[in-house]
Amino acid sequence: MKRLSNLSAMLSALTLSSLPAAAAAAARSAGCGKDPTLLTSPPTTPYTVTVNSKAREFHVRLPEGYDRDRAYRLVFTFHALGGTAAQVVAGSGGYLPWYGLPAQDPDESAVYVAAQGLGNDFGGITGWANVGGEDVALVDALLELVEADLCIDSEHRYSTGFSYGGAMSYALACERAAEFRAVAVLSGGPMSGCVGGNEPIAYYGQHGLSDRVLPVDLGRDLRDRFVRNNGCTPQQPQEPAVGSGTHVKTEYEGCTHPVTWIAFDGDHVPQPMDAGANQTFVAEETWAFFSQFTQT
């Protein structure tokens, strides 16, 4: 385990109020031009950072041929209930490595972060309960830490996750809309909370019609918040018939910030596939949603 002992006292004691809600940093982060100390971390070797007196683990993936003078996108990838950041990194436990996003990006345009949730739920199962905002505070700390060390385009921060990881991404959409460009919520719910939740942000939502863990109505409710916030033209999206083995994609119109909704014929799974397909559509659709925002 790699412990970052040179963090400032401010970062070690980071609280919810440390990052202004309307912070607008320059597009190129302070880490540009520096030789990085954060390096791609294997599943077995996380970094740690102390946030609100708790040691929190996280992993980082740098692009191949990382260039200290190139400003990269930053993508957070959150695991589900009972999952681990190590599984997200390794592509085990039902996940593709880093949710399959690096494989969709031949330009290697992004740095990825996978943080480890706390055991606050159901007798110690790991998740993103975000008690007192502590998981949002973790993200604040990681933003400051990563962007001080690596060259990041701070106008291109993204978040995704499945189930509880989707809930955490939704919480960031609610509370940190000014800091993130877009989120992708995969079969998520409101379990991590929604502080604020009135600002626009680009929103991708995806849900199975036969989800027996988090019913699809939860996903529709999360989506509809940002349909309203983003000023989209109201509509009733088409959805596939149960048993069809297909998915239907709706891109809302009239939005100040894009909203995409994908309903699929299936249960609570992170990598759904259409009938007869040999790979999931999720990574391709998520990356297409994120990468529509071109870097300048």
217-229 pLDDT, tens digit per residue, is 999 999 999 999 9
- Position with higher pLDDT, 5 vs 192: 192
Parallel/antiparallel/unpaired status of strands 182-186 and 259-264: unpaired
pLDDT at residue 5 above 50? no
Q: Which pLDDT belongs to residue 168?
A: 99
Cα 104–Cα 171–Cα 218 angle in degrees, nearest 5: 85
Euclidean distance between CA atoms 64 and 56, whole angstroms: 26
CA-based torsion, 248, 221, 138, 175: positive or negative: positive
Read off the pLDDT of each residue in 239-246 and give the average, rounded to a whole number.
Answer: 97
Q: Which pLDDT belongs to residue 60?
A: 99
Percent of the chain with pLDDT over 70: 91
Nearest residue to 13 (alpha-carbon basis) of 55, 57, 53, 58: 53
pLDDT band at 296 (very low <50, low <70, confident <90, very high): confident
- Position with higher pLDDT, 157 vs 8: 157
pLDDT band at 18 (very low <50, low <70, confident <90, very high): very low
pLDDT band at 123 (very low <50, low <70, confident <90, very high): confident
pLDDT at residue 24 above 50? no
Q: Which pLDDT belongs to residue 7?
A: 34
Give the architecture-level CATH label for domain 19-291: 3-Layer(aba) Sandwich (3.40)
Read off the pLDDT of each residue in 42-52 and give the average, rounded to a whole number.
Answer: 96
Q: What is the dihedral angle through the alpha carbons of 160, 49, 108, 45, rounded to the nearest 10 degrees?
A: -100
- Considering just the CA atoms, what is the radius of gyration of the chain in Å? 18
CA-based torsion, 42, 286, 220, 177: positive or negative: positive
Q: Which pLDDT belongs to residue 1?
A: 52
- Kindly report which listed range (19-28, 183-192, 273-282, 287-296) carries the lowest average pLDDT score: 19-28
129: left (phi over 0), alpha (psi -120 to 50) or beta: alpha
Per-residue pLDDT of 61-107, as tens digits, reads 999 999 999 999 999 999 999 999 999 999 999 999 999 999 999 99
Euclidean distance between CA atoms 259 and 75, whole angstroms: 18
DSSP string, the chain: -EE-TT--HHHHT--TTSS-TT----SB-TTTTSPPS-----TT--EEEEETTEEEEEEEEPPTT--TTSPEEEEEEE--TT--HHHHHHT-TTPPGGGG-GGG-TT--EEEEEEPPEEEETTTEEE---GGGHHHHHHHHHHHHHHHHS-EEEEEEEEEEETHHHHHHHHHHHH-TTT-SEEEEES--STT--SS--S--EEEEEEETT-SSS-HHHHHHHHHHHHHHTTPPP-----PPTTS--EEEEE-SS-SS-EEEEEESS-S-SS---TT-SS-SHHHHHHHHHHTS---
Q: Which pLDDT belongs to residue 120?
A: 79
Q: How far is CA 97 from CA 79, 90, 94, 187, 236, in A?
A: 11, 5, 10, 18, 34
